[in-house]
Amino acid sequence: MTTPHPAPARYAVLGGTGFIGRLLGDRLLEQGIEVLSVARKAPEVPAPGRFAAFDLSTADPAELAELFDRERIDTVVNAAGGMWGLTDEQMHEANVVLTERLIEAVAAMAAPARLVHLGSVHEYGMAPVGVSQHEQDEPAPVMEYGRLKLAATEAVVRAAESGRLDAVVLRLGNVVGAGQPGHSLLGVMAAKLDTARLAGATAELSLQPLSAQRDFVDLIDTLDAVQLAAEGLAAGRRVPPVLNIGSGSAAAARQLVDLLIEESGVPTAVTEVPAPEGTGPETEWQQMDVLAARDHLGWVPKRSLRQSVRALWQAQTA
């Protein structure tokens, strides 16, 4: 008598056409996992797996619950959200309203799926140089995006602690890798270097000191964490409601730009632009303590900043 094989996992990835969501979907498909990519509108480049256009900031959560039930979804990853180029009201809809309605939708499923929600290091705000940020620290975001991401995280945590959902929030550092958004610092620099490469010219970059130190984490390491979190929930392991996913060390943004220039091999003329008047030496930074993710998920960051930037550049020139 043969042993029946378990049915493959079935993931829904909200934000499935975005920076993290698209690569996650591709990776899951390669592993034989069923993928439903969900976004507000169909992309020009087809999304991984099956695609559903759905705007949770305006649609009825019951409709999404029905969609998840039809697709027999057992794991939802919320990689949706918005920051760049949005008003505060639009950011609120994209981050808070969407998450609250997603919680309603998943809780209303006939068999509620597990939820992995992607939060942000910006929920913490800043810390004195030399101090790491722990999950137990009181968040003190300094920008509207951080405040809105914190509100979304708190909604997921409330749902998990009340027993409505089996869920975990992964607070991500500043993710770097292939497909870097074009509006980000590294995305802008990569585009300028690539333009010069194609023209056979010297790239001319004007850069401020960029001495602010932040926690940057590799995209592939991030995807590893997402899958380990989902697998931990599926196995019934006790996972804390919030886990930090970062490199565990701070680095200056200028360091990443310099690595990008090196990896590109493009001749580059850098003009140093003075910092804004009144700017003094850095006294605050962001550096995440990631030991809880190691203890509860078996996850540790493995890839270097150079590897992250190399993947970014290879994707830019592909």
Yes or no: say if 256 and 311 are a contact pair by the CB < 8 Å rule: no
H/E element, 245: strand 242-245
At 158, give phi and psi (nearest 5°): -60, -40
Report the chain's C-alpha Rg in angstroms: 20
How many residues are there in the chain? 318
Q: How is residue 3 annotated by DSSP?
A: P
Q: Which helix (H) or strand (E) holds 170?
A: strand 167-172
The catalytically annotated residue of 11, 54, 145, 313 is 145
Active site (annotated) includes residue 145 = yes
Torsions phi, psi for 120 (to 5 deg): -145, 145
The set of residues, in sequence order, having a beta carbon less than 8 Å from that of 82 and lying 6+ positions away, is 90, 91, 94, 95
Give the catalytic positions in this structure. Answer: 145
